[in-house]
Structure formats: structure tokens, C-alpha cells
Structure 1
């Protein structure tokens, strides 16, 4: 078993009608608060007013309109507010995009330069503004980790930032707040959760504990995503997905395992940096192609284990046969929940594939550490197969 560190300082406050506890949680942190959120959905469902009730007695400043695949310009606006108004803490209301932007804002508030510098080099992150999360989408797991992803349309880059002090103080996870999430975003969120799990599960060496955790995560999403899409107010299905979201990206699934360079995320970030496609949808399309690329006689037992334990395939069948069936079932599942099978269905072409591959290999973790090492030719093979 590999050595590991696990640091999870965020308090998860999970369950229906827990938002009323926010007021007490923020009390020690000051009076000047920046409220960050995306479009108008939180106002339509009444959540905006409920959050403001909890902020009564505080001086509230707002940054609205944070977009999917959050852009550095939104971060810059938030940093400007923090510096000008002397913000004490932030409350992020939304999904992963709002939370990721908030993390960059929290770090940029005490940084003298452009907050994009912190994305390019997370070692420059120093003091941060404390922040809280009110989660409205089960997907990225950003409510329970210390990392985020920010896009820069000026340079066609979508890059990672992370630091131990970029964890939320507390995250409020009420599954009822996801009842109004449309089918498309529910499906894309489910694909994101599964991809987080695959990135940590499909590695050279695992262990009994985290194999079981990863497999349970995958079974959970496969069972509950269709239920949540068919019946958006299914509290149990929404709860299972929200819990899986929080534990999918916090590092727990990776403990004691071969470190992963997260190849599917690296490849998808390059695509959405140029095209702004929905992150989870891109992952759902790329993942089966990456699996097929990675399948060899050496890796077949790992994929076969996945097929047997997650999909219930025949444990006595040859490993390669079972592995191939598991990969096909994965692809079929994503299509069954409404995600297209090809990048071209989302308007992606091969115009920038060479540039994407070069940028990935120079800015991402070394893909030589993947379950099957990936070079530039391999990246291009996966991209072209995904079209």
C-alpha cells in the first residue's frame, strides 16, 4: 500500500433544512461578506432570500453571474470587491463553478498581483479569505476539497489551482436544493462524479478498502442518476448523488493507491478551454475512449474487476472479455442518461487537437503515470476517437 496524507478540514452539514445553521457558523468571522453565485436560479427557488436571512446584521456585497467553467474575469471582479471593501468572509451559493471561482477570489484577495498568477503557480497562494458553501449541484466535489479549476478565454487555458487553505470552512449540503436541477446538468454532474472515481480507481495498484469505496461510489451513481433524472424530487436519489459528489474528489478514494495523473480531466480541460462545453459531458465522452486506449493484457484484470463488482459481469469469464464488456456498459450508461456519444455532437472539431495535446503535456501532471502511459500520440488517439 502506498503512503498517503489525508487532510479534510471542511465541516459537511448535510440534510434537509440545515441552512438555518449558517448564521451561527459565520458569526465568528466578521460582518463584511461577499455573496457569490451564478445566474438567477437561486432567486427563482427562493434560496437567495433564505441566505440573506442568515446574513442579517452583515454588510453584504454581491458577485453575481459566475459562469460555468468559471472565467478569470469573474474572479478578478470578486478580488476587486474583497480588496476595496475589506471583505471578512465569503458565502458561495451554487455548484462547482461558483465554488471554484470563490476559491480563486479567496486567495486573490491577499495577493498583490493578478489572481491568474495563482492558477499558473499555486505555490504563490498565501493567506486566504475564509468561505462557506451552500451547495446546489452534485457534481464537482469542490464543496469538500481544496482545489478548483479556472478558465482564461484570452489564452484558451483551463487550469487547476489548489492549496491546503482553499477548503471551505463549512459546506451546507441540502439535497432538496438540487430538486430543480435540469436533467442535462444532473446527468453531467453524475458523469463528473463517476470520472473522479475512475481517475482514482483505474490505476496500477489499489487496496481492499479503497477498491470497495470506489466501486460503491460507481454503483451509487449508476443506480441513482437515472432515478433523479426521472423524478427530480426523489430525495433519496438526490441525497445519494450529493454524498457521492462530496466524497468523490476529496482524496479519500485515492489513499494508499498508485497516484493518478487524472488523464481524462486533463484532456477535457483542454477541450472546454477552447469550446466551453459542459465539463461532465466532455468527461462522459472521453472516458470510454480513454478506457479502450488503456486496455491491455496487463491492465485487463483491473477493468475486469470493475466489470464484475460494479456491473455484475461473470467473474469466471476471461478478463479481457469482461473488461471490454465493462467499457461498453460504461459508454452505454452515459448515453442512457442523455449525454451524446461524440464530441462532434457538442460542436467540437479537431481544429485545435495538436495544440491541446501540446499544452496538456506541458501543463498537466505527467501522463506517464497513467495506468497505460500516454504520450502525445496517445492523447491525439483518444481525442480523435472521441469525435
Structure 2
């Protein structure tokens, strides 16, 4: 087990009708806030009215910036930065899923920086301070409600990059599973894929003697896969929705990664796909994770056999661990198919036109990943495996 320091100060307010506490929680972090959200869904559902009433009742002044896209754009981040500065905003309230929260984090960090917000994502500058952030979560997926990470797309060059710091963890996250009842099945499935992928990035590690977090990862994966068909077949099943929502938080609040070095290659590989083609991040991960697994499993076939056994109940063949490992990967693909996810690039009409470009951009700062260090040619071959 690796040395670690773990700290997560995000306060979770979980359960039915908890959005009515938005004003009460927000006034603890700011008197004038930027209300940041995506499209019109929060207005159609009535959530917008409940939140703004709660803010008003608590004496919190707010101004709005909507329009966050599923792959949030740096252009809107820049707009948010200027708005926060000109209006002297002292906090941000993000209402939505991971894209809205990520956009809010990027705005929060850049408000105090004299340069361009994109500099954080290219490594030209580093985190120093940020506006405090609160969250009302509507989409269980990215886990951004308790993480310190953010991912943003720059249409100038079709780049999608991540940056993070513990100081960007939201101060609070309001989580009402009822708010997810009306999510389309495809969006729900993308979210489920995203949270499983966050666990995979931590599970496939070269760190040894990590049984505690191995078991936590495996148990969370089994829970997600057990509850997935329930939320897709019974949209108003509160208990199943609650399990999925909290699992998404656990998957990315870093508690599953303590004492181990995560990989994160597949996220980098997928970011190049959604950066160019603007597909749902979860769909891209459903395609790329099995391909990555097929490419690297021989590096530690024992761990992949353990994954197959503990997550999918595949009997371990001690005479042929490779067979067991491959059965586990096949089971994962079958799970993704069962929830309506693509598992091949061809299914989302992506050909090999940009493979070279994507592989180059994914590795332009050096090899990616920690489980296996991947060079440009490796990434290219993984794209080919996913075709």
C-alpha cells in the first residue's frame, strides 16, 4: 500500500426534497452567487423555481449563467469568469451533472487568475485559490460533486483536457435521487458507465497489498451492475436510484483510490474522441475500456482474473488465467451492451480518419497511464482494437 493523505470536506445532503435546503446551505458560502446550469430541463421540471425560491428565502442574491453543454466549453467558462468579476460574485451554485459542475470549477479557479482559463488545463499555471462552490446534483455519473477535478473542451483544436486540485471540491452537494427520475435511459446508462470507469481507473494498479480498496472497488462495481437494470426498467424506483447516485459519488471521491496509484490512461484516450466528435463521455468510455483491457491485460493477468471472478463470478481457471481474464472482459462488454451502450467506434459512426491525430494529442506531453505506460503507437493500436 502506498503512503496517502485523504481529505474530502464536501458536505453531502442526501435524500428526498433536499433541494429545499439549497438557500440555507448556499448562504454559508456566499451572499451573491452565480447560478450555473445547463439547458432548460431544470426549468421544465420545476427545479429552477424551487431553488431560486430557496435562495431568495435565505436572502441570497443570485445571477444566472446557463447553457453548459454535455462536454463543457472553455468559451462559456471565460464568459462566466468575466461575469463573476464584473458582478463581484463570491460563490458559485452549480445545478446539474458533471458538465455543469466542471464548468463551475473552471470558472471558480480562473476568477483569481490574470491569464486565460485554459492555462490551467495546459499546465501553464497552477491552482492558487478559487471561489467556493455548491452543488445540486441532477445526474449521477461524473462524481464531480465531491471531486477536485474538472474537464473542459476547447473547440480551438478540438482539445479536451483535465485539471484538478483538492481546493476545487465543492463545499456541499445536495443529492435527491428523485431529481433523476426523468433522465433519459441513454443518459442514465452513460452515467452508469462513467462511474464504473472511475472505479476501473483506480482498480487496475501496480500497487500491492491493497485488499481493502480492492474489495471496496469490487463491491461498488457489483452494486452498480446490480442496480443498473432496475433504474432502467423502473424509472421511479427510489431505492435503486439512491444506490446509483451514491455509488457515483463513492466512485470518484478518491476513497477507493487511497494507498494505490491509479491509471487514467483510458480517460485520456476517450477525451480525444469526445473532444473531436462530441459524443457522450460515458459512451466513449464503454467503447474504449474493453479495448484498453484487451491491450494491457497480460501485464497483470492475475489482477484481471481476480476482476473477472470477484465482479462477474467467473470461475478462476488456475491452469489458464488468461482465459479467465478474457471472460471477464467479455462479461464487461456484455454488461455495457445490456444497458444500451456502444462497445465499438463503428457503432457511433467513427472511423479511423483521426486515429493518428488523437493518438498524437493524447501523448503529446509524454506517455499516458500508470498501469502500463502507453506511447503514441500503443494508443493508436487501442483505437484500432475499438474499431
Range class of TM-score, shorter chain: over 0.9
CA RMSD, 1 decimal: 1.5
2-structure distance, mates of 1:190, 1:179: 14
Partner of 2:373: 373
Partner of 2:165: 163
Partner of 1:14: 14
Asked whether the 8 Å contact 1:122–1:163 carries over to 2, the reply is no
- Tell whether 2:115 aligns with 1:109: no
1-structure distance, mates of 2:90, 2:334: 48
- Tell whether 2:256 aligns with 1:253: yes
TM-score by length of 1: 0.96
Partner of 1:54: 54
What CA deviation, in whole Å up to 9, does each residue of 1:267-300 have, x standing for no partner? 000111111110000000111111111121x511
Asked whether the 8 Å contact 1:94–1:137 carries over to 2, the reply is yes
Instruction: Describe the SS at the equivalent of 2:35.
Output: strand
TM superposition outliers: structure 1 runs of 4+ over 3 Å: 315-318
Instruction: Kindly state the Cα deviation for residue 233 of structure 1 after the two structures are TM-superposed.
Output: 0.9
2-structure distance, mates of 1:44, 1:368: 41
* Equivalent residues in 2 for 1:1-387, closer than 5 Å: 1-56=1-56, 57-121=59-123, 123-206=125-208, 207-257=210-260, 259-296=261-298, 298-317=299-318, 318-363=320-365, 366-367=367-368, 369-370=370-371, 372-387=372-387
What CA deviation, in whole Å up to 9, does each residue of 1:302-353 have, x standing for no partner? 0111111111111355322211110000001101110122112212221121
Asked whether the 8 Å contact 1:70–1:98 carries over to 2, the reply is yes
Instruction: Kindly state the Cα deviation for residue 368 of structure 1 after the two structures are TM-superposed.
Output: 5.8
Asked whether the 8 Å contact 2:199–2:251 carries over to 1, the reply is yes
Asked whether the 8 Å contact 1:34–1:63 carries over to 2, the reply is yes
2-structure distance, mates of 1:278, 1:45: 23
* Segment drifting more, 45-54 vs 344-353: 344-353
Instruction: Kindly state the Cα deviation for residue 53 of structure 1 after the two structures are TM-superposed.
Output: 1.1
**Number of matched residues?**
383
Instruction: Kindly state the Cα deviation for residue 83 of structure 1 after the two structures are TM-superposed.
Output: 0.6
What CA deviation, in whole Å up to 9, does each residue of 1:235-275 have, x standing for no partner? 11111111111111121111112x12311101000111111
Instruction: Describe the SS at the equivalent of 2:363.
Output: helix
2-structure distance, mates of 1:233, 1:28: 32
TM-score by length of 2: 0.96
Asked whether the 8 Å contact 1:368–1:375 carries over to 2, the reply is no
Instruction: Describe the SS at the equivalent of 1:90.
Output: strand
Task: Could you tell me which runs of 5 or more consecutive residues in structure 1 were left unpaired when the two chains were aligned.
Answer: none
